Amino acid sequence: MSEERYRRTFLRRFMRNRPALVGGAFIVLMGAIILLTPVIMPYSYEEQNLEEQYQSPSLKHWMGTDSKGRDLMTRVFYGGRISLAIGLAGAVVSLIIGVAYGSVAGFAGGKTDNIMMRIVDILYGLPFLFFVILVMTIVGRSLLVLFIALGVVEWLTMARIVRGQMIMLKEQEFVEAARALGASNSRIIVRHLLPNMMGPIIVYATLTVPAVMLEEAFLSFLGLGVQPPASSWGSLAADGMIHITPVRTVWWLVVFPGAALASTLFALNFLGDGLRDALEA
């Protein structure tokens, strides 16, 4: 199949998948709102109004206000910036590690491949998030550490996918041709092999974004992730939970941040699944 036809088939299949399209549209919309928050929201992130504590959702504050009278909707959108940024950064870090590791293992083959994949198998069974917590306990809880640590957790599947592709492609004639022309191993990997597996790599990276966001929410919910004054959807939900008591069920403080996170993850999963199906079918 020619490159052009292949691309068109992929697009056509993807366009037929309605949930994936809706998911994609939702992500674009959410991204736009999050980027434009400072322009479109009448309140600022830290603006306190102690006369309006714990207001339930109203026309003035669509998602209500928190314990310091801050507008929750504004905070949810600002939190989304951090959640999405960590998701994207984590996906990029996992992509770099996974692609590098997988290409080396797959290209080298034989004993090296065996040992490298055995290590991946072992790492799969280990409680990775606990290691992240261990590292964050030691080096401190900063955003930068979080960005890197979460990417480091998620590279295993990417490594497996890239290795599989590598093994499949490395025996093909164009690799032989490149070698005959005197190309070095690293040039063959970077210029000839990797461009031929961009499809699976991009699809899996899309699915990594929600996975990393979920882990960030997990850590932030425990108080081990994003630290105040910054906030993410996970830490907003955790903050909200503290204020819920039998006498004062301020449900909106957990429901809105949680729903923002859940709907975004939902959309990203549909989008990623749709891309994968369009590529594989």
Binding stretches for another protein (CB under 8 A): 122, 124-131, 133-140, 210, 214, 217-218, 221-224, 234, 237, 241, 244, 246, 249, 251, 254-255, 258-259, 261-262, 265-266, 269-270
Shortest distance, position 115 Cβ to another protein, whole Å: 12
Residue 67's Cβ-side half-sphere holds a number of Cα atoms within 13 Å equal to 12
CB atoms < 10 A from the CB of 69, how many? 16
Q: Considering the complex, what minimum distance in angstroms separates the CB of residue 75 from another protein? A: 17
Rounded least distance, CB 266 to another protein, Å: 4
Specify whether the CB–CB gap between 149 and 218 falls below 8 A.
Answer: no
Q: Which of 269, 281, 253, 273 is nearest to 79 (CA)?
A: 253
Which of 197, 236 has the CB closer to another protein? Answer: 236
Nearest CB to another protein, comparing residues 114 and 185: 114
CA 7 to centroid of chain Cα atoms: 25
Closest approach of another protein to the CB of residue 246, in Å:
6
Three-class secondary structure of residue 202 per DSSP: helix
The Cα 148–Cα 154 span in angstroms is 10
**Number of residues written out for the chain:** 281
Judged by beta carbon, residue 162 or residue 219, the one nearer another protein is 219
At residue 65, the 3 state secondary structure works out as strand
**Distance from C-alpha of 120 to C-alpha of 184, rounded to nearest angstrom:** 27
Q: Provide, rounded to whole angstroms, the least separation between the CB of residue 43 and another protein.
A: 25
Q: What is the DSSP string of 238-280?
A: HHHHHT--SS---THHHHHHHHHHHHHHHHHHHHHHHHHHHHH
For another protein, which is the closer residue by CB, 152 or 178? 152
| Shortest Å distance, C-beta 10 to another protein | 22
Residue number with CB closer to another protein (175 or 267): 267
Q: Which residue lies nearer to another protein by CB, 39 or 138? A: 138
